[in-house]
Amino acid sequence: MRIKDLPVDDKIRDLRQMHLNELIKIKGVITKRSNVFPQLKKVFYNCVKCGNKLGPIFVSTNMEVKLGACVICQSNGPYVLD
Ligand SMILES: [Zn+2]
């Protein structure tokens, strides 16, 4: 379905948090384009010592994951990616 003539015409620079989950109409000029990459991955880790599953943890592609002590066995891992 194509939607046209929405009454509100937001400017792309005026987009704010209030626009989250709203249907908006904007005009803009594409200056750069690339494939759409998934920015977040949902991962689970398993504690090697007790097998406890940690997660889901949301990580962005180049972010280092810092896992604290395991809530079950209180060790600091090691953890393996599930
Ligand atoms: Zn553990």
> Looking at the chain, which runs of residues are DSSP E strands?
10-11, 26-27, 40-47, 53-60, 79-81
User: Does the pLDDT of residue 44 top 80, yes or no?
Assistant: yes
In the block, residue with structure tokens 């998934």: 38
Distance 63 CA to ligand 1 centre (A): 23
- Helix then strand then coil, in percent of the chain rounded to 5, is 5, 30, 65
Distance 39 CA to ligand 1 centre (A): 28
CA-based nearest residue to 44, from 67, 71, 76, 72: 67
Write out pLDDT tens, residues 52-66: 998 888 887 666 777
Please identify every residue whose CB atom is under 5 Å from ligand 1, which is an ion. Answer: 47, 49-50, 52, 70, 72-73
Q: What is the mean pLDDT of the segment spanning 33-40?
A: 76
pTM: 0.48
Residue 12 pLDDT: 67
Please give the Cα distance from 23 to 13 (Å, whole number).
Answer: 16
